Amino acid sequence: MRSLTQRTVNTLSIVAASLIATLATPLQATGADGARKLSFDVFLDDRAIGYQRFSLTPAGEALRIETQARFEVKVLRITAFSYDHRNTEVWRGGCLRSIDAFTDSNGKKSAVSGRAQGNAFVVATKDGERALGDCVATFAYWDKGILLRSQTLLNSQTGEHVPVRIAPLGAGTQRIGSRDLPVARYAIKGKGIDITLAYTPDSDEWVALDSKMEGGRTLRYRRNIGELDRATAAQPPRTGGVASGR
């Protein structure tokens, strides 16, 4: 069980804790508080292990993003691995302005915070502070426009500024619930990163993520189908990527 836990930890540090960035995506499928809601079921191979939920709330010219992820892997009814991640970000003008994240990965706790200061974004972890560029982005999986213009992305669990390569894989289909949806796929590659993303071709709604792990396992995210139907019905087809606001 030790190897399963370590592989899960390594993958979560890139995938699960980094689903916290969006900029100018039109709000749809909103809750009573006006926040846009995104919900994903999470699987290790075909086994359900938890969820990740997002709440995106406009605040004047800014956008406040709150996320919560909880995973639990059990063997013979005994919890072999648990994961709890919470994150709050504020975006303005297409750039990250602040981040406060807390993670409990199988009992190992960590925190990341960051603030825009002048012409830099300063990230703080237990190892100290580090100044990044003036317009930092986290892993904006649901916005192709952000991904396609990014060469480095901030990991909200570790505070690392991770180099990435992003490329289109072409059209296909994706099973969401009991339906096969037409999708466009993209790959993200980097050190310890091998991720495939799927989007609806007409509205660029993010619907799925598959991350390859050591040992042949796959961590999978699948969008809630009812929520996806409401989102695509409310959002007109896009003609290109989301503007960065810069």
For 8, phi and psi rounded to 5 degrees?
-65, -45
Which fold does the domain 2-234 belong to in CATH? outer membrane lipoprotein receptor (LolB), chain A (2.50.20)
The residue among 226 and 238 whose pLDDT is bigger is 226
193, 213 Cβ separation under 8 angstroms: no
pLDDT tens digits, one per residue of 148-204:
888 999 999 899 999 999 999 999 999 998 899 999 999 999 988 999 999 999 888
The pLDDT of 209-233, averaged and rounded, is: 86
pLDDT tens digits, one per residue of 99-116:
999 999 999 999 999 999
The residue among 92 and 184 whose pLDDT is bigger is 184
**Other residues' Cβ atoms within 10 Å of the Cβ of residue 196:** 17
- 3-state SS, one letter per residue, for the chain: CHHHHHHHHHHHCCCHHHCCCCCCCCCCCECCCCCEEEEEEEEECCEEEEEEEEEEEEECCEEEEEEEEEEEEEECCEEEEEEEEEEEEEEECCEEEEEEEEEEECCEEEEEEEEEECCEEEEEECCEEEEECCCCCECCCCCHHHHHCCCEEECCCCCCEEECEEEEEEEEEEEECCEEEEEEEEEEEECCEEEEEEECCCCCCEEEEEEECHHHCEEEEEECHHHHHHHHHHCCCCCCCCCCCC
For 145, left (φ over 0), alpha (ψ -120 to 50), or beta?
alpha
Give the chain's length: 246
The residue among 70 and 231 whose pLDDT is bigger is 70
Overall pTM > 0.85:
no
**Average confidence score pLDDT of the chain:** 82
For the chain, state the CA radius of gyration. 17
Structure tokens belonging to residue 74: 């059990």
- pLDDT given for residue 27 in this prediction: 37
Per the listing, tokens 């909200």 go with: 156
The residue among 19 and 194 whose pLDDT is bigger is 194
Per the listing, tokens 């919470």 go with: 86
